[in-house]
Homo-oligomer: A and B are copies of this chain.
Amino acid sequence: MWASFAAQVLCCSSSVSVTWSRGVRLGVTMAKSKFEYVRSFEVDDSCLPHCWVVVRLDGRNFHRFAEKHHFTKPNDKRALHLMTKCAQTVMEELEDIVIAYGQSDEYSFVFRRKSNWFKRRASKFMTLVASQFASSYVFYWRDYFEDQPLLYPPGFDGRVVVYPSNQTLKDYLSWRQADCHINNLYNTVFWALVQQSGLTPAQAQERLKGTLAADKNEILFTEFHINYNNEPQMYKKGTVLIWQKVDEVVIKEMKLPTEEEAQETTVTRTRNRPMPLYCDIMGDAFWKEHPEILEEES
């Protein structure tokens, strides 16, 4: 309700009335209180306390979206950076997100164990993440796709999953990163076959059927002189967002009493920002380096 200071209005308009059951006519305010029973149909969907709450978003029909907007294959750097910009906005605008992980057209957000944001209601978590991400996607589009106008507003579906322990949460994130690796290796070979060897998608698919990871590495190396290990980390590992202290330079305009002209000064402030990393999160090293992510002050 954006234009209202209204609170409880205690009675009814003479000019508007509603016919209630058995022909009784009521003023609107009384009618409203009669209708209000419908609120009891709402369900309490709060997440189990003391558990990690994960919201995962997926682009809706992004295969088509990528084609319409001429995304480069197998990876479009602009699209990936835009996704990360949206995820950073989500982390800045919403509360209690301690880590996020993204790859391809999906992003996962982890709320801290003891978050009590919106009383842990799952519907609030997932719709606020989904809507903030989606509006940011359109808002920041131009910063990443200068020459490519956005043709239509995209949708994202979301879900909430609850993890009771650090181990299950880490395994969830590892699952997504393993998925990223497997898809990226496949896509890298697939599009090399299509773009450089001139195979049709069907032929490329056929060629890769049954191949192991070692086989794909081999094809990349012998046929395309690509060492997969040298591919960009962001493609191979996806993007991890965690809060880090960064020094930000702020320009300040000052007017000194004795001078006529305003002076600009720069001030450096340390702020907490969600910063991207492109590193392994399946092993223990990452978690040992960043113990604060899983630690919860009591």
A278 close to chain B: CB less than 8 A: no
Which residues between 40 and 80 of chain A lie within 8 Å of chain B, taking CB atoms? 40-44, 48-51, 57, 59-60, 62-63, 65-66, 71, 73-76, 79
A298 at the interface (CB under 8 A from B): yes
The answer to whether B185 and A13 touch across the interface, beta carbons within 8 angstroms, is: yes
Most buried by B among A16, A63, A210: A16
**Which residue numbers of A lie inside 8 Å of B, CB to CB?**
1-6, 9-16, 18-19, 21, 27-29, 31-32, 35-44, 48-51, 57, 59-60, 62-63, 65-66, 71, 73-76, 79, 89, 93-94, 104-106, 118, 122-124, 126-128, 130-140, 150, 152-165, 168, 171-172, 174-175, 178-179, 181-183, 185-187, 190-191, 201, 204-205, 210-214, 216-217, 228-229, 282-284, 298
A15 x B182 contact (CB < 8 A): no
A96 to nearest B CB, angstroms?
15
Q: Compute how far the CA of A27 lies from the CA of B164 in the bound complex, rounded to whole angstroms.
A: 26
Is there an interface contact between A132 and B135, defined as CB atoms closer than 8 Å?
no
Given contacts A13-B185, A127-B127, A155-B128, contact A32 B135 (CB under 8 A): no
In the docked arrangement, what's the CA distance between A204 and B6, Å?
11
Q: Are B187 and A6 in contact (CB under 8 A)?
A: yes
Of the candidates B16, B105, B172, the one whose C-beta lies within 8 Å of that of A1 is B105
Shortest Cβ distance from A76 into B: residue: B3
Distance in Å: Cβ of A135 to nearest Cβ of chain B: 4
Q: Beyond the given A50-B168, A128-B130, could you list 19 further A-B residue pairs with CB under 8 A, ordered by the A residue number?
A: A3-B73, A6-B182, A19-B283, A39-B175, A41-B161, A41-B162, A41-B163, A42-B161, A43-B44, A50-B164, A51-B164, A89-B153, A93-B155, A118-B157, A123-B126, A123-B160, A127-B127, A132-B134, A135-B138
Sample 10 A-B pairs with CB under 8 A, ordered by A number: A3-B74, A10-B210, A14-B217, A29-B182, A38-B168, A49-B164, A123-B159, A123-B160, A135-B138, A165-B165
Query: Taking CB as reference atom, which chain B residue is nearest A21?
Result: B298
- Say whether A41 contacts B32, CB under 8 Å: no
Task: Please report the C-alpha to C-alpha distance between residue A1 and residue B44 in the assembled complex, in whole angstroms.
Answer: 28
A188 to nearest B CB, angstroms?
10
- Beyond A3-B73, A35-B175, A138-B139, whether A214 also contacts B126 by CB under 8 A is no
Q: Taking A16-B181, A66-B2, A134-B135 as contacts, is the C-beta distance between A35 and B171 under 8 angstroms?
A: yes
Cβ A11 vs Cβ B135 within 8 A: no
Asked whether, in the complex, the Cβ of A157 is within 8 Å of the Cβ of B172, the reply is no
The CA-CA distance from A28 to B283 in the complex, in Å, is 11
